[in-house]
Amino acid sequence: MITIIITSVIVGIICGLLGSYAGAEGTSLAWRRIGIPVLLMLVALVALFSNSIFNLTILSFMLYSIGVGYGIPDNGYPVDIYADSGSAIGRFWWLKFNEDEFKANIATRTTVGLMKIISFLSIPLITGAWLIYGIFASLMIINRVVWGAIVPDEGGFVFFGKKLLIEEADIHFGDGFFMTLMILLSANTMI
């Protein structure tokens, strides 16, 4: 069990750095959209090598890699031509909540979290590990909402010469940590 936790922490840290690095100015979103799914696919490959779940799990990571955005429009949108319009999901919730940024942010982060955990449905469908899936899926959504919408401006840090946001690192660390735990614990239920 300690090996599973240590592995999950290490993968979580790497996912946190990849996710945050992809959000820094002058970097490619591919660090998050490709890097994190490939890392998690390698974890699944090692954990599930002899199990048939791997074939379906790889499809889950393809869905995860789409990289759905979760930005909320800036103040002044749509009048200010320099204002960020946010993502399609963020704009949708922002308009539904009459431009209430806090509510829109919670709804957007929850929607993106749900989309990500749905892409992992093949794991409990094959393993029957519904309790494990339910626990970690819930924790992933809570992680996104807490760090993305409730905790304000955590600050930043410098990594490879780029200023990264702690918020992004926290969110992607949680994703990587909880997904790795879900994969490894689900694989152990098949043995």
Whether this prediction's pTM lies above 0.85 is answered by: no
The per-residue pLDDT for 53 is 53
Tell me how crowded residue 169 is: count the other CB atoms within 10 A of its CB: 25
| Residue 48 near residue 60 (C-beta atoms within 8 A) | no
Tell me the mean pLDDT in the region 170-179: 91
| Residue 57 near residue 43 (C-beta atoms within 8 A) | no
Residue 116 pLDDT > 90: no
| Rounded-to-integer distance, Cα 94 and Cα 91, Å | 5
Query: Residue 135: helix, strand or coil by DSSP?
Result: helix
| Rounded-to-integer distance, Cα 30 and Cα 149, Å | 24
- Which one-letter DSSP state was computed for residue 73? P
| Rounded-to-integer distance, Cα 22 and Cα 108, Å | 19
pLDDT digits (tens, 9 = 90+) for 36-81: 888 888 887 777 665 555 555 555 655 555 567 778 887 777 776 6
What is the distance of C-alpha 94 from the center of its chain?
21
Residue 27 pLDDT > 80: yes
Tokens representing residue 107 in the block: 């709804």
Tell me the mean pLDDT in the region 96-101: 91
